[in-house]
Chains A and B, each alone.
Chain A
């Protein structure tokens, strides 16, 4: 009965198009939520990868380099680099401030460190003043623009990509002393010291230091985003339920309207199984069509977000799977109705 179901889709196409549009909006928003969640995670991954660290040394008892408000003296750097297993170590200082009313990450880096991220080293090499601000491409100001940081006027010396984090908050990179001066009253401090190589076990036993792995640092980043990720997950589920409700409603109404047709088909020998198969096909086709349209919806809406939303391939695969499940679930009420239709109903009189 798949042929009959597909013909019905064609016959009632106007209403089905409306359903597909509404469901595609729900699916599209869900896809965008997946994109946002992916973006948030990706930013953390990018930041962690940027430093190429094996270990993160942070003040004792803090969650990690991204959530801490405690700082450690950069003097610890000497004792760490002196360890035989350490090949390189570099302090970083992460601060946050408002620049032109926009929340901005400000990161101080050690310009002399062998661990200086390659993209920063390249940017420095391209600048007349290598200590000028290097900004993320999402920053409000571009190359050559002047902006103010805590009363200090600075000119953008170079732009880099993929260094924004925390909801694509743009990052301004400055040499460590500059950040210490402008944001931390000249204190010789760092948020963390990133280390390549292996640290002695005694380092972790220090009363003032903690040693974190990349997984710990990742967990710290995710902890900050935890509530947001959960919320995005809930919104996603609600949107999928909404799509299920929309498709289920139209499938059920369609079954009610076609009760006589189904009774007639049963009367001419069509089995319940065959009718149910047709309905499942119809419901799945609607749902899948909505999913396909949702890709367009998501792409059309993504520029309206304040930051780039990238939908990973896995999100598209997930959408297709969810759409199929939605299609099946949406047909269940109609399936129950179909199996209970009495074929003798076909003998009703009204033409």
Chain B
């Protein structure tokens, strides 16, 4: 893997603060409340793992941070600016500029090449295709995919697709990276690779929040937040670099 200065380029003075967040949604006739009054603070440079059983709200929390769903109560702020309550163009700007998301299923657009998949968010942000492709090429090269630039997702292995997805999350240089089960579809060697990349991304001063069942990611985490299914969560006294990484945040 080509470790490089670009992955480590920026420092972000943005603190992510989640304060008494409650999410609820309708599923058939029932109201599902994955978590209530959940609080968490994450400092720049910190890599936080969200651990917990299925249905405990890990992915829902990522969605809320990413501005993809509106919580019932509570607030999320990034660098002091509220994410919750944002709408319209402001919400789009948040998704585009503040957050990069690595999805469990990679979610690469099958008709686009690796370079194009990575370039799309930058193009959306207003860059020319030429500039976006150049930046995408740089990122993919740094992630060891310089020989796969023009390949489509179907022509890439799971690990390669995951690296393309990571490059796409990084292309707009956002201060927050969210990863949902980033190792779910990878084999052992690929996991090692992705784990290392995610750590580098955090070391660059970004906030990295990962939802996972995979205990092997614990080694690279600064903190592990254990979430319980459907029970009120308690905010940890979040401190970056805390000695005891493992925090049980729900009863």
CB-CB under 8 A from A8, the residues of chain B are 111
Contact indicator B69/A265 (Cβ below 8 Å): no
Residue A227 CB within 8 A of the other chain: no
CB-CB contacts of B115-129 with A at 8 A, as 1s and 0s?
010001101110001
CB-CB under 8 A from B105, the residues of chain A are 260, 348-351
Which one of A79-87, A109-117, A229-237, A267-275 is at the B interface?
A267-275
The residue in chain A whose Cβ has the minimal distance to the Cβ of B88 is A271
A349–B182 CA distance with the chains assembled, in angstroms: 11
Nearest CB of chain A from residue B158's CB, rounded to whole Å: 7
CB-CB under 8 A from B184, the residues of chain A are 349, 351
Residue B36 CB within 8 A of the other chain: no
CB-CB under 8 A from B125, the residues of chain A are 269
CB-CB contacts of A8-20 with B at 8 A, as 1s and 0s?
1011100000000
Residue A22 CB within 8 A of the other chain: no
Which one of B5-13, B59-67, B190-198, B218-226 is at the A interface?
B59-67
CB-CB under 8 A from A4, the residues of chain B are 109, 111-112, 120
What is the size, in residues, of chain A's interface with B at 8 Å between Cβ atoms?
28
| Contacts of B81-136 to chain A: CB distance below 8 A | 92-93, 95-97, 101, 103-107, 109-112, 116, 120-121, 123-125, 129
Q: Given contacts A346-B103, A351-B105, is CB(A267)–CB(B68) below 8 Å?
A: yes
Residue B185 CB within 8 A of the other chain: yes
Residue B20 CB within 8 A of the other chain: no
Contact indicator A7/B112 (Cβ below 8 Å): yes
Residue B181 CB within 8 A of the other chain: yes
| Contacts of A267-286 to chain B: CB distance below 8 A | 267-271, 274
CB-CB under 8 A from B66, the residues of chain A are 267
A3–B81 CA distance with the chains assembled, in angstroms: 33
CB-CB under 8 A from A12, the residues of chain B are 111
CB-CB under 8 A from B93, the residues of chain A are 269
Contact indicator B107/A269 (Cβ below 8 Å): no
The residue in chain B whose Cβ has the minimal distance to the Cβ of A273 is B92
Residue B168 CB within 8 A of the other chain: yes
Residue B203 CB within 8 A of the other chain: no
* Interface-central residue, A4, A267, A269, A343, by most chain B CB under 10 Å: A269
Contact indicator A344/B69 (Cβ below 8 Å): yes
Residue A347 CB within 8 A of the other chain: yes
The residue in chain B whose Cβ has the minimal distance to the Cβ of A263 is B107
CB-CB under 8 A from B46, the residues of chain A are none
* Interface-central residue, A268, A348, A350, by most chain B CB under 10 Å: A268
Contact indicator B124/A269 (Cβ below 8 Å): yes
Residue A264 CB within 8 A of the other chain: yes
A8–B89 CA distance with the chains assembled, in angstroms: 26
Contact indicator B104/A347 (Cβ below 8 Å): yes
Contact indicator A346/B111 (Cβ below 8 Å): no
Residue B43 CB within 8 A of the other chain: no
Contact indicator A10/B158 (Cβ below 8 Å): no
A343–B103 CA distance with the chains assembled, in angstroms: 12
Residue A181 CB within 8 A of the other chain: no
CB-CB under 8 A from B173, the residues of chain A are none
CB-CB under 8 A from B104, the residues of chain A are 347-349, 351
Nearest CB of chain B from residue A127's CB, rounded to whole Å: 69
Residue A122 CB within 8 A of the other chain: no
B96, B116, B168: the one within 8 Å of A7 (CB): B116
Nearest CB of chain A from residue B192's CB, rounded to whole Å: 19
A11, A344, A350: the one within 8 Å of B68 (CB): A344
CB-CB under 8 A from B107, the residues of chain A are 260-261, 263-264, 346
Contact indicator A269/B96 (Cβ below 8 Å): yes
A10, A267, A351: the one within 8 Å of B106 (CB): A351
B68, B109, B185: the one within 8 Å of A351 (CB): B185
B62, B111, B121, B124: the one within 8 Å of A274 (CB): B124
CB-CB under 8 A from A344, the residues of chain B are 63, 68-69
CB-CB under 8 A from B185, the residues of chain A are 351
Q: Given contacts A8-B111, A347-B104, is CB(A268)–CB(B95) below 8 Å?
A: yes
A291–B105 CA distance with the chains assembled, in angstroms: 39
CB-CB under 8 A from B62, the residues of chain A are 347
Contact indicator A347/B103 (Cβ below 8 Å): yes
CB-CB under 8 A from A266, the residues of chain B are 68, 95
A344–B123 CA distance with the chains assembled, in angstroms: 21
| Contacts of A331-346 to chain B: CB distance below 8 A | 342-344, 346
Contact indicator B168/A268 (Cβ below 8 Å): yes
A12–B109 CA distance with the chains assembled, in angstroms: 12
Contact indicator A347/B63 (Cβ below 8 Å): yes
Contact indicator A264/B111 (Cβ below 8 Å): no
Contact indicator A264/B109 (Cβ below 8 Å): yes
A3–B117 CA distance with the chains assembled, in angstroms: 11
Nearest CB of chain A from residue B149's CB, rounded to whole Å: 15
The residue in chain A whose Cβ has the minimal distance to the Cβ of B162 is A351
Contact indicator B96/A268 (Cβ below 8 Å): yes
Nearest CB of chain B from residue A345's CB, rounded to whole Å: 9
Nearest CB of chain A from residue B242's CB, rounded to whole Å: 28
CB-CB under 8 A from B123, the residues of chain A are 3
Q: Could you list some 11 contacts between A and B, CB below 8 A?
A: A8-B111, A10-B111, A261-B110, A265-B120, A268-B96, A268-B124, A270-B92, A347-B180, A351-B104, A351-B105, A351-B106
Closest 4 CB pairs of A and B: A269-B96, A11-B111, A269-B95, A264-B107
| 5 further interface pairs, Cβ-Cβ under 8 Å (given A343-B68, A349-B104) | A4-B111, A265-B120, A267-B95, A344-B68, A348-B104
